[in-house]
Structure 1
Amino acid sequence: MKKNPLLFLALLIVLFSCKKESQNCEISEEVQAVQVDLKIERLEDLLFEAKGQGDISYFLESHPDFSAKYLQEDLYPSKEALISTLIEIPNDTLMQELYEEVTAEFPSIRQVEQDLETAFKHIKYFYPSFKVPKVYTFVSGFTSDIYLDEDMLVIGLDYFLPNDHRFQPPEMPEYIAKRYDKDHLVPMIITAISSVFNETDLQDNTLLAEMIYYGKAYHFTKSMLPCTPEKFIIGYTPAELAACYSNEDFIWTHLIEEEAIYETNPFNIRKYTGEAPATDVISPDAPGRVGRWVGWNIVDAYSEKNNIGLKDLMTEKDAKKIFMQSAYKPRQ
């Protein structure tokens, strides 16, 4: 099939009407009534305002989970060695400047806290056994953007400075760095949490299975953050998203005519779903990861057409079943 990159230049519907964006985003009374205990603690302040070894020692003792898991205390020959390492951080000129820039950009963390609270309420509504993790922020020196386990979430705020800021994550490509900002932060976290509930058939190694996996992840995130625009969930610019919608038929025709959805070669699968500035295999003007976006549309169609609830959707392992019963067709 001959590729036609010009199709992706016809971005005439930036202000498009999209079903995901037009959904009623009001939070139900049932969800609002769910109780969650969430208070974000800003550990970067404790570190950079420490006056000496005593303060650092108290910092570690009062946050043993952070010390053990995030700082990996066991990798140091002694606790004193860890304290000596940490006490040097506030004395480093660049780290002090980075901390000041983070403080200026995030004078308050309240909006992040509110958005996380909304998401956690939704998760706990669907999954009552969900345990709200302790949430910390930190200035990692660009060593860790998000750390997450079932007990603790650590947000490296330095990664989420504006993408035109003078401090940028080293060696991170610009096409990835552009979505590391405040608006994408909470959707990133919830998409990561979705993996706990996203059941898959490990024997299915097709492109279709990977598309459906990501589709379920984004569907989950949108369900937990119903007022968050689609662009912040998938990490596309408005122009990239408009290009996908205006060329949905072109994208899907390629996937079917090339029988790409049945591809099992990991290298070829990455061409459609992997991080890249563009999905060149379809068109140099197609945004990267476009296979994930198609998977999201298939999953939405499956859920809506068959009236499938979130929990049943997330436990459905059969990607082919989801695809066949979605009756997915590109919008005209």
Structure 2
Amino acid sequence: MKKILGIALILLAFMACKNDKQLNPEIEAISVAISIDRFDRQFANTTPAKLPDLKSKYPYLFSKQYSDEFWEAKLSDTLQKELEREVDIAFKDSDQIEEDLKVLYKHIQYYFPETSVPKVITIITEVREKVVLTDTLLLIGLDNYLGKDHYFYQDIQRYKAKNFRKEQIDVDVASAFAKAKVTRPQTNTFLAQMIYEGKQLYLMEKLLSQKPIHEVFSYTPEEYRFAQENEVNIWEYFVSNKNVYSTDRKLLSRFIDPAPFSKFQLSFDNDTPGRIGRYIGYKIVASYMNENDIALKTMLLQDAETIFNNAKYKP
């Protein structure tokens, strides 16, 4: 009986979590058509004779600084063929990418109805560029999402390679969109930089409402849990060390810029997740939005001082 009761409680907890992630009916009702153009496969299957046709169809994917001979040689290049093979294995179809992007753009059009859905094209970038987003075009470098332990990434630092996963495609697209919507701060205080990053993360969370929150931060579950459990200590450290209003640029490399861990210059640094200042910025913005009746777009335009002074942030 106890065993049955335990299973029932687990099921109830699971259902509760599932309900928390239900899509807003107004967002779900938005019609979005996403169709992925697999340029990566078209290039892999073309021949030197057919290359001019492909260049004519996708002129923006063939840089004019490279000659026809360069592109012809690339068709049979060993590394290129290996990348094409591995991408084809990992992405036999693009159904999941389409579904994830469809949900993302439903959210984008809910909050930013003036935004159009871009043409989506998958490419191979030799593990250089993950996504490129413009008003009309979204390029996705599939060779950047083969899985964190793929042998292509063996020489890439682990804190970067851990997010070379399919689950991060829509996160990277949302991040590119958020960067375009959040202007850089006019002041260069550490607080302004944290809130600048926090605005992006808050917007991303809204756009990725179906995504686990740790994925939005590009954290592992353990890294996100560390940030949650140590929020008070982190904020007290920033306050006691007079970091909040400091203009010391080194604080960015210690707590904001991509890194394997945050640099408190204490013995436990290696146990911390990188970019912890972004988490604090997000919590300040979230507190501000909870305390004030402010539209999302309005918040994105407000300065850091206004947000912080009205956030009532108390970790």
Please indicate, yes or no, whether the TM-score normalized by the shorter chain is above 0.5. Answer: yes
Report the CA distance between 1:282 and its aligned residue: 5.7
1:282/1:252 Cα in 2 relative to 1: closer, same or farther (>3 Å)? farther
Q: Please name the residue that 2:226 is paired with.
A: 243
For 1:288 and 1:101, the matched residues in 2 are separated by 30
Q: Please name the residue that 1:180 is paired with.
A: 164
Report the CA distance between 1:32 and its aligned residue: 2.4
SS of the counterpart of 2:98? Answer: helix
Matched to 1:306, the amino acid is N
Which digits, 9 at most, give the CA deviation of each residue in 1:246-276, with x for residues without a partner? 1111111101111111121212332111111
SS of the counterpart of 1:53? Answer: coil
Report the CA distance between 1:182 and its aligned residue: 0.9
CA contact (8 A) 2:130 2:172 kept: no
SS of the counterpart of 2:239? Answer: helix
Q: Which structure 2 residues correspond to residues 49-64 of structure 1 after superposition, within 5 A? A: 49-50=45-46, 52-64=47-59
Gaps of at least 5 residues in structure 2 are 1-12
Matched to 1:236, the amino acid is Y
Q: Please name the residue that 1:12 is paired with.
A: none
Which digits, 9 at most, give the CA deviation of each residue in 1:118-143, with x for residues without a partner? 11111112212112211111122223
Alignment RMSD, CA only? Answer: 2.0
1:125 pairs, out of 110, 129, 135, with: 110
2:174 pairs, out of 190, 204, 215, with: 190
Q: Please name the residue that 1:299 is paired with.
A: 285
Q: Please name the residue that 1:8 is paired with.
A: none
SS of the counterpart of 2:121? Answer: strand
Residue 313 (structure 2) pairs with residue 328 (structure 1): yes
For 2:110 and 2:80, the matched residues in 1 are separated by 40
For 1:130 and 1:23, the matched residues in 2 are separated by 29
Residue 145 (structure 2) pairs with residue 160 (structure 1): yes
Report the CA distance between 1:22 and its aligned residue: 8.7
1:244/1:220 Cα in 2 relative to 1: closer, same or farther (>3 Å)? same
For 2:220 and 2:314, the matched residues in 1 are separated by 24
For 2:145 and 2:75, the matched residues in 1 are separated by 20
CA contact (8 A) 1:214 1:292 kept: yes
Residue 235 (structure 2) pairs with residue 257 (structure 1): no
For 1:40 and 1:160, the matched residues in 2 are separated by 16
SS of the counterpart of 1:293? Answer: helix
For 1:324 and 1:311, the matched residues in 2 are separated by 19
Residue 89 (structure 2) pairs with residue 93 (structure 1): no
1:199 pairs, out of 170, 183, 194, with: 183
Matched to 1:127, the amino acid is F
Report the CA distance between 1:180 and its aligned residue: 1.7
Report the CA distance between 1:23 and its aligned residue: 8.4
Q: Which structure 2 residues correspond to residues 22-33 of structure 1 after superposition, within 5 A? A: 24-33=20-29
For 2:236 and 2:18, the matched residues in 1 are separated by 26
- TM-score, normalising length: structure 2: 0.88
Matched to 1:107, the amino acid is K
Q: Which moved more, 1:86-95 or 1:124-133?
A: 86-95
1:33/1:169 Cα in 2 relative to 1: closer, same or farther (>3 Å)? farther
SS of the counterpart of 1:191? Answer: helix
1:22/1:287 Cα in 2 relative to 1: closer, same or farther (>3 Å)? farther
State percent identity of aligned pairs: 30
Residue 43 (structure 2) pairs with residue 36 (structure 1): no
1:207/1:22 Cα in 2 relative to 1: closer, same or farther (>3 Å)? farther
Greater RCO structure (CA 8 Å; 6+ sep): 1
Q: Please name the residue that 1:209 is paired with.
A: 192
For 2:247 and 2:262, the matched residues in 1 are separated by 17
